[in-house]
Amino acid sequence: MKNINKRTATIALLTLSILCSCSKVKLDTPQPSGPKVTGVEIVNLQGDAIILGGHEPMTKQVQVAATPSSAEDLDKYYFTCYSSDNSVFTVDETGMLTCIGAGEATLNVVARNNARIATSCRVKSIGVLVGSIDVKPGGQTIALTQTPGGATYSAKSNITVSPSNATVKELVFSSSDPAIATVDPATGIVSAVWEGQTAIRATATDGSGVYGEFTVDVAVVRADSVTLSAAAQTLTIETPNTYTLNVGASSAYSIYVQPGNVSSLKMSFNSSDPTIASVNEAGVISGLSSGTAYITATTTDGSNKAVTATVNVVKYLFTPLDPSTWMLTSSPVDMTLGAHSFGDLSNMVDDPALNTGVAFFKVGNQGVPSTGAYFTVDFGTPAVFNYFQIAHKMDFNPTSGSYLYEYRYNLVKDIRFYGSDDDLLYTDLQNVTGLANTNSDPKSPNLVRLSATHTWRYVKCVLTPTYPNYNSGGDYDLYMFVKDFQLGLYTLAP
């Protein structure tokens, strides 16, 4: 009995020990759990973006999902959406996207309880597409006649874009043949170029591919005749279509093209002997050596009308009279300007290398007569002359040895020449107008051939300023500065 009881007690003790061991293991092992939310994704992307408008709806509900989808804490996550540019699209608290304007912006999605759980995507807002472009007058042809000043037509002002609420109404314009007519891509201004027809297209820029088109028909008026003008600038007119040009000189003769409404005045020019006289594309003729050359001007409008001028290129010898024997008198001059006046009248006719001159007061100053500032040359005995030379409006600083390009002096516009044998009765010889400003190049004064050869003992030169009434408030524009005056005789070189 004891033995059984003893064995029974032993078995009971063993069983309790096992139960206690199992209970301990269960308490020390963690309970198993699911994954947590680590990210978020936008579900309804079209490629890598959400598209609004165009062929898509103007509004869309953004759809987001936390990841992984098996996360046990999904129910704890709520997301907020933001637009980077509300002028492109907006998004409300429910995640509804609304197209506002054309363009691209970014949609940002952020978890409310964990800012590290976030994502973003592009939103392409296309808006309402252009449905049609009505070009007025639709289907008709716009006729333009080219003129030298150009012929234009405004296409943009005659176009209607539909529907009226299209988001992007900007158009781009193009020409099928820019050699006939060009068109400004932005403004739609059509400019005629030359004869023919071309299609002008206005295309929507919203990606719809819609365009409108019309035809431009350009006509031209061709030349009937070409003649030379009687006025030939500095060319000497000998007979109609025959001119004389000095070696080293350049000039252009004027051309008349008929009818007056020709489409193009452009001419091509050719010289029969470019070693004697050359001519550039603008029709400027340059005398290069003695001889005769024939300059032909031809229309380029297809009419092939032409005119030819005979240009005799000659070389003149210019022999100045000796100023050392001259007696000079004048209207009042300024003797106090120092570096600008340099003293007496002889400085006006001395060696050009000395850079000296004289400042003449204008009318209304220091007793200058109303007839104008003047100077008189007494040769002592009658002298023969047919050209003169003069530089004016110089502002030379002898200290620095340079010309100062400050507007200290008035320009000499005209010089009127008078001749006399007794210094009492003077004969009007010639009024020379439009003298060039020699301030920018003091080494190249005006050298002018007179219209005739004269013989006189006395020569009086009356100076007219370009700006007779101009006064800036200072004294400088009261004067006309003259230097390098010369009279002489030119002859034809052998």
Euclidean distance between CA atoms 62 and 42, whole angstroms: 7
Cα within 13 Å of Cα(219), Cβ side: 7
Find out whether 370 and 386 touch, Cβ atoms under 8 Å.
no
CA 254 to chain centre: 28
What's residue 13's pLDDT?
A: 32
3-state percent helix, strand, coil for the chain, nearest multiple of 5: 10, 45, 45
Total Cβ atoms within 10 A of residue 14: 10
Q: How far is CA 118 from CA 42, 62, 70, 94, 421, in A?
A: 10, 14, 18, 17, 108
Q: How many CA atoms lie within 13 A of 194 on its CB side?
A: 10
Q: What is the pLDDT of residue 301?
A: 85
CA distance linking residue 101 with residue 86, whole number of Å: 9
The pLDDT of residue 231 is above 50: no
CB 354 within 8 A of CB 432: no
CA angle 204, 206, 208 (to 5 degrees): 75
Query: According to the model, what pLDDT value does residue 439 have?
Result: 56
pLDDT at 450: 92
Lowest mean pLDDT among 23-37, 113-127, 312-326, 419-433: 23-37
Closest CA to 102 of 201, 204, 186, 173: 204
Would you state the pLDDT for residue 425? Answer: 96
The values of phi and psi at residue 375, to 5°, are -140, 150
Which residues are within 8 A (CB) of 10 and not within 5 positions of it... i.e. 6 or more apart? none
Q: Provide the 8-state DSSP code for 354.
A: G
What beta strand segments (E) does 393-493 contain? 396-397, 402-403, 412-420, 427-432, 446-465, 479-492
Residues 279-292 have a mean pLDDT of 89
Output the pLDDT for position 79: 94
Closest CA to 47 of 98, 121, 116: 121
pLDDT confidence band for 275 (50 / 70 / 90):
very high
Phi-psi region of 477 (alpha: psi -120 to 50; beta: other; left: phi over 0): alpha
Confidence of residue 477 (pLDDT cuts 50, 70, 90): low
CB 81 within 8 A of CB 44: no
- The residue with greater pLDDT, 305 or 411, is 305
Dist CA 235 CA 249 (whole Å)? 9
Q: Please, what is the end-to-end C-alpha distance for the chain in angstroms?
A: 172
pLDDT computed for residue 333 by the predictor: 78
Calculate mean pLDDT across residues 153-157. 88
Model confidence pLDDT, tens digit, residues 452-465? 999 999 999 998 88
Which single residue is written with the structure tokens 């234009």? 152
pLDDT at 470 over 70: no
pLDDT at 4: 34
Q: Please answer whether residues 260 and 326 qualify as being in contact, where contact means their C-beta atoms are separated by less than 8 angstroms.
A: no
What's the CA gap between 43 and 58, in Å, rounded? 18
Weakest-pLDDT range from 141-155, 229-243, 451-465: 229-243
pLDDT top residue among 104 and 229 = 104
Closest to 208 measured CA to CA, from 177, 238, 160, 166: 166
User: HSE (CB half, 13 Å, CA atoms) of 230?
Assistant: 0
**Mean pLDDT, the chain, whole residue set:** 81
